[in-house]
Structure 1
Amino acid sequence: MISVFLCGIGFTIIAPVTPFLVAPYVRDSSQQAFVISALTAVYAACVFLAAPVLGAFSDQVGRRPILILCLFGGGLGYLLFGIGGALWVFFLSRVIEGITGGSISTLYAYFSDSTAPDQRTKYFGWMSAVAGAGTALGPVIGGGLAHFDYAVPMFVGALVSIVNGVYAWLCLPESLPKSSRRKASLKAINPIRQFRYIFTDTGIRRIVFTAFLLWLPAGGLQAVFSQFTIDSFAWSPMLIGLMFSLIGIQDILAQSFLMPWLLKQMSESAILRWGIIGEVSGYCLICLSGFFAAPILFVFGLLLYGMGDAIFAPAYNGSLSKLVDQKDQGKVLGSSQGMQSLARVIGPLLAGQLYVWFAPVAPAVLGIIFGGGALFFFWKSQA
């Protein structure tokens, strides 16, 4: 649990300051949003390619060495980003962070190894809550530390990851006994192989495609979030950090209180529909905030989008899991996760380029278009 909490802090402590660190190395300020979104896409691509490899090797050599490698690798990535000096250093740091970005998934596997099947849902819930608390706290810490220097949150993030790695090295026992390990195969480490399971059934294809239309602009929004607030409202790192934290707190509250209530009031299909409507409505307010330079509209838009996303995600996973047999759950949910990772590669690149070509509100317009398409496609698939 301590490792999970520190991972959450380390992952988000750098979020408010990335545009400020990159700015001195971008000749044309209009290209800055694309550079930042490209850094996000590179990270997502490396996670996508490395996740099945890390998972397969953790099955072969155990969870502990992979987890320690991920934590020290993340620390090195943060350290390089803080040192900077050239754009290629920033991209190298994101590659290292992406390749070793499987620490949370390895921790999930560690919890699975260490708990009885009937206790796992409870422990996974605690794990999500602890990770969410760290994720919500990280941006506030990062924004506050930026007062001293923009690179300080990166160095603190590196320290958090390295201390976490040392803690795991000294205190964390191996959870996977040698008798349960299996040799990694080429099939297991092929990331493209993940996708084949989503094309086996019409219902699966429809719901995954609906979600993919939402994931694309979501990845773009997350990539340009900080840059948008700087260009549109001249926000400081502290304000950006507070907004990130507010979203994290909202997500925790929505998962803990709103979703259980909604499941008693309406079907999963209705929750999916309202989730999409919430996201599209949020994009509309974000778009208007850019046109009228009104940060209050941005705040309400982001909260509305976040609420829609918070109720869509669990309803989507629940609906998808009901479309397949028990023995195929892992394959199909893994394929879905692969599609989400792919969207987080394409979305930031698309949003960043639109940001440069047109205006800062362009990624929000993209969200309205794709979200409207998702709503229409979902309505047609339910008819």
Structure 2
Amino acid sequence: MRPAVLFILITVMLDAMGIGLIVPVMPDLIQEVQGTGLSKAALWGGVLSTTFALMQFIFGPIIGGLSDRFGRRPVLLLSLVVMTLDYLVMAVAGSIFILLLGRVIGGITAATQSTANAYMADISGPEDRAANFGLVGAAFGVGFVLGPLLGGLLGEYGTRAPFYAAAALAAINAIFGYFILRETVTDAIRRPFRWSRANPWGSIRQLGKLPGLRPLLLVYFLYQVAFIVYPAIWSYFGKERFGWDPSTIGLSLALFGIMLAIVQGGMIRFVLRVLGERGTVLYGHLFDIAAFMALAFVANGTVALILTPLAALAAVITPALQGIMSKAVGKDAQGELQGALTSASALAMILSPMMMTSVFASFTSSTAPLYLPGAPFLLSAALIALGLCVFVTFWPKQRTAMNTE
């Protein structure tokens, strides 16, 4: 593997760790700084996740556009430096407002995932992009493993320890990237930065003008809203339903992340070869519906631990959709496309955590009409079913449009 590709994968891994690292300790950390019960801590967790996502939503296309203009290298390196500082801020946070500030900074730095994906698009041929986006997804999965594991294990030494470790990792990767990362944006594909396109709505609106791309963006968005049920409520769900401690929560998320890395780093190449991009998207949606329905009603912690990695078998959806959409845009717009997808993911993270944690609180509070901690998973299953309907309705038109290009 080329050193530059390794750097990109590590960067994406660190982005994922920024989410997964805090999940196991977040209930205890919020209760520590706020002195509230678990249900209220879950609501504050939703606020912090939404703030993180809002920053990604705003800055995703801005950073993607800047990388199309000034290059991928400076954007990625600067983000890692700022990420290091952000983890240090989180490590010393003594109030919910400092945690909120940390999520603001973290959301901005994590928006560079769009630039990482654009870099992979720059160095990949059209036929290899879906599989290479799978590598990026696998790196995200590894981060999803290491983040909760690190957070769970170091959380035993205090709620602050994981953040110091993450700051060190981000700093080391910034130094590594400084020496090995080459620039892929040449004068042939460089284009001016325009605010009219470098904002969430402008970017999505511009890309939506391309034939058939708008329905795919909607399918991608619905999937992200549903998927975010894991980081949004999993720690609260595990603690409420099964009495899990931070280590067990970290282990469960690690199992999910390991399978996510296997699926997107290796299995997806086989699935794409056998089913094609359309079949891969269909398979992922159908499997996800079944997985969410099972998690909604699971009553045994051991069974839940078994189901957790199996649920990741549906994780082929994102790289397959990215591959389809990447083929529909020019080489000079890969950063813009990935910025728009980052904004779509961030918009999902703005809406989903508050929605999922509110549903969780409604069905676990003392006044709940029905006790059902898994209710958010039912909502996710419904969203996936809606996305499947949109994709099935849209695909024949999109296939015709692409075949004529």
| TM-score with structure 2 setting the length | 0.79
Spell out the pairing of 1:47-62 with structure 2 (5 A cutoff): 47-62=56-71
Per the TM alignment, residue 341 of structure 1 is displaced from its structure 2 partner at its CA by 2.6
Deviation of 1:260 after TM superposition, in Å, equals 3.2
Letter of the 1:299 partner, please give it. Answer: L
Match of 2:309 in 1: 303
From 327, 346, 362, the counterpart of 2:375: 362
Q: Which amino acid aligns with 1:14?
A: I
Q: Paired residue for 1:136?
A: 145
Q: How big is the shift at 1:49?
A: 1.0
* Equivalent residue, structure 1, for 2:318: 313
3-state SS in 2 of match to 1:147: helix
Deviation at 1:116, TM superposition (A): 8.1
1:252 is aligned with what amino acid? A
Write the distance in 1 (CA, Å) between the matches of 2:124 and 2:212: 33
How many angstroms apart in 1 are the aligned matches of 2:44 and 2:207? Answer: 32
8 Å Cα contact 1:41/1:348 also seen in 2: yes
Query: Which AA in structure 1 matches 2:94?
Result: G
In the alignment, structure 1 residue 191 sits paired with structure 2 residue 197: no
Cα distance, 1:119–1:237 mapped onto 2, change above 3 Å: same
SS of aligned partner of 1:150: coil
Distance 1:129 1:365, change over 3 A: closer
Q: What is the identity, as a one-letter code, of the residue corresponding to 2:304?
A: F
Could you tell me which runs of 5 or more consecutive residues in structure 2 were left unpaired when the two chains were aligned.
1-5, 365-372, 397-405
Please tell me whether residue 21 in structure 1 is matched to residue 29 in structure 2.
yes
User: Deviation digits for residues 79-129 of structure 1, max 9, x if unmatched?
Assistant: 22222211111110000111122344444555677x586998597776665
Identity %: 26
User: 1:342 is matched with which residue?
Assistant: 347
Instruction: Answer yes or no: is the 8 Å Cα contact 1:280–1:305 preserved in 2.
Output: no
Residue of structure 1 in register with 2:370 after alignment: none
Q: Is the 8 A contact 1:3 1:164 kept in 2?
A: no
Q: For residue 236 of structure 1, report the CA deviation from its aligned partner.
A: 2.1
Asked whether the equivalents of residues 61 and 339 of structure 2 are also in contact (C-alpha less than 8 Å), the reply is no
Structure 1 window deviating more from structure 2 (40-49 vs 24-33): it is 24-33
Q: Which amino acid aligns with 1:303?
A: P
Please give the residue correspondences for 1:142-181 in structure 2 after superposition, counting only pairs within 5 Å.
Answer: 142-169=151-178, 171-172=179-180, 175=183
Task: Give the 3 Å change call, closer, same or farther, for CA 287–134 of structure 1 in structure 2.
Answer: closer
User: 2:275 corresponds to which residue?
Assistant: 266
Contact 2:60 2:339 in 1 (8 A): no
Per-residue CA shift, 1:163-189, capped at 9, x if unaligned? 3334445x3566268967655322242
Amino acid across the alignment from 1:150: T
When residues 355 and 205 of structure 1 are mapped into structure 2, their CA distance, relative to the original with a 3 A threshold, is same
**Structure 1 residues 338 and 135: alpha-carbon distance in aligned structure 2, compared to 1, 3 A threshold:** same
Q: 1:362 is aligned with what amino acid? A: A
Name the counterpart of 2:368: none
In the other structure, the counterpart of 2:13 is 8
1:132, 1:252 within 8 Å by CA — same for their partners in 2?
Answer: yes
Name the stretch that deviates more: 213-222 or 81-90: 213-222
Q: CA separation in 1, counterparts of 2:305 and 2:76?
A: 36
Q: 1:285 aligns with which of 276, 282, 294?
A: 294
**Unaligned segments of structure 1, at least 5 residues:** none
Question: Which residue of structure 2 lines up, in the alignment, with residue 230 of structure 1?
Answer: 239
Cα root mean square deviation, aligned: 3.5
Comparing 299-308 with 95-104, greater Cα deviation is found at 299-308
Q: Which residue of 1 aligns with 2:85?
A: 76
Query: What's the secondary structure of 1:16's corresponding residue?
Result: coil
Of 249-258 and 115-124, deviating more is 115-124
